[in-house]
Amino acid sequence: MDALRTCNRARVVGLALLLGYATAPAVEDLSPSQQQFLVGNTLWTLVHEMGHALISELDIHVLGREEDVADLLASLALLHGTPNHAHGDEEIDYLWAAAVGWRTEWWLSRHDGDPTPYWDSHSLDIQRYYNIVCLMYGHNPEMLEQHPDLDLPGGRAVGCSDHEYLRAEGSVRRMLAIYGRSERQPGGAKVAVRFEAPTRAGHQPLADIVEASGVAAHVAEQTEMLFVLPRPISLVFGACLGDESAFWRPELGEIVVCYDLLERFVYLHGLHQCLERADEDSLAARRSCARSVTRYPAGG
């Protein structure tokens, strides 16, 4: 895996921002693969939402859709991690889990026959997948050997390695130079982390895995290190009455991650494994997987 070539580039994607984590403990109901998928998707989502928070709080100027910028920041953060972080392979696996999550969402929407929301502020799920793997390939073309199922067409791959990745990294470097905290600056406001009590018993193990992984605490820590926040903000994990989402609430200064979204990540992992065993492009296979893969038993 490419190391960053200069000290500035090492700090850069300090949207490095937002990494550093511990290994999640074993939980009886979830396999190590499920835990990795859960933590990886949660980490990517946290950094994505922190991107929205930073754009809002620091009045960062963006060209294009803010959702695409937040996606890019999250992906580059997972690609690079913090400069002193030693577990690069795990970080790449976490980013790959996030990419697979978006690809599986696309497969699921094709099965369900949901109308494609062309009006939405986000890119299509399958585009989010390809944008992530484009950055992975541009960062290190040998990714294709580590993840042969990247499924990145040659025409796009050339652009990813020639200029898309370098342009994205350069943009983040400039963003940090303008809006980031210098070594001489005092720290700004703090980022708090709060795990609220789940209202469904089955959500507690998921909350425990994410909390023990340390990803939320490190997102908070790295944000404080890299930026001077004008006011305190919070990362809140909580019950959302069935809402499978995460969002930035500027009026409250909160990033909210719903426990139902953590449950969905576990479901997407099972669906992905089923589709991988079957023919993912077969309508019959997608229907069979959608019928056979059950939701994480969050009962209560």
pLDDT value of position 195: 98
Max CA distance (Å), the chain:
60
Better pLDDT: 277 or 269? 269
Nearest to 35 by CA among 218, 244, 194, 269: 269
pLDDT of residue 113: 64
pLDDT tens profile 97-128? 999 999 999 988 877 666 777 888 899 999 99
pLDDT band at 150 (very low <50, low <70, confident <90, very high): confident
pLDDT at position 53: 98
Is there a domain that residue 60 lies in?
yes
Residue 9 domain-assigned?
Answer: no
Between CA 62 and CA 85 the distance in angstroms is 29
14 confidence band (pLDDT: 50, 70, 90): very low
Mean pLDDT across the chain, nearest whole number?
84
- Least confident segment among 80-89, 129-138, 149-158, 260-269: 80-89
Reduced to 3 states, what is the DSSP secondary structure of residue 234? strand
Choose from 9-13, 216-220, 274-278 the range with maximum mean pLDDT: 216-220
What is the end-to-end Cα distance of the chain in Å, rounded?
Answer: 45
The pTM score is: 0.87
Residue 59 falls inside a structural domain: yes
Q: Kindly calculate the radius of gyration of the chain based on its CA atoms and give it in whole angstroms.
A: 19
Say if 3 falls within a structural domain.
Answer: no
Domain total in the chain: 1
Pick the most confident of 141-150, 174-183, 229-238: 229-238
In a domain, residue 195? The reply is: yes
Query: Which residues partner with 191 through β-bridges?
Result: 233
Dihedral (Cα; 261, 291, 288, 272), 10-degree rounding? 20
> Is 211 a domain residue?
yes
pLDDT per residue as tens digits for the range 276-298: 887 666 767 777 887 778 777 65
- Give residue 190's domain range: 14-292
pLDDT digits (tens, 9 = 90+) for 158-172: 899 889 999 999 999
Residue 261 and residue 42: Cα distance in Å, rounded?
A: 9
| Confidence grade of residue 243 (pLDDT, cut at 50, 70, 90) | very high
Q: Is the residue at 279 inside a domain?
A: yes
Q: Where are the alpha helices (DSSP H) in the chain?
A: 7-12, 32-57, 66-80, 88-112, 125-139, 143-146, 154-159, 165-179, 203-213, 215-226, 259-277, 283-292
Residue 151: pLDDT band (50, 70, 90) is confident
Are 131 and 150 within 8 A, CB to CB?
A: no
Reported as type and span, the H/E element at residue 150 is none
Interval 32-79: pLDDT, tens: 999 999 999 999 999 999 999 999 999 999 988 999 999 999 999 999
To which H or E segment does residue 254 belong? strand 254-258
Q: Say if 4 falls within a structural domain.
A: no
Q: pLDDT value at position 255? A: 98
Place of tokens 């949901």: 114
Residue 219 clears pLDDT 90, i.e. is over it:
yes
For 110, counting Cβ atoms within 10 Å of its Cβ (0-12 exposed, 13-18 middle, 19+ buried), the class is middle
In whole angstroms, what is the distance from residue 256 CA to residue 42 CA? 12
Q: Which helix (H) or strand (E) holds 299?
A: none
**Per-residue pLDDT, 84:** 46
The reported pLDDT for the residue numbered 297 is 63
Element of type H or E holding 255: strand 254-258
Mean pLDDT value across residues 205-218: 96
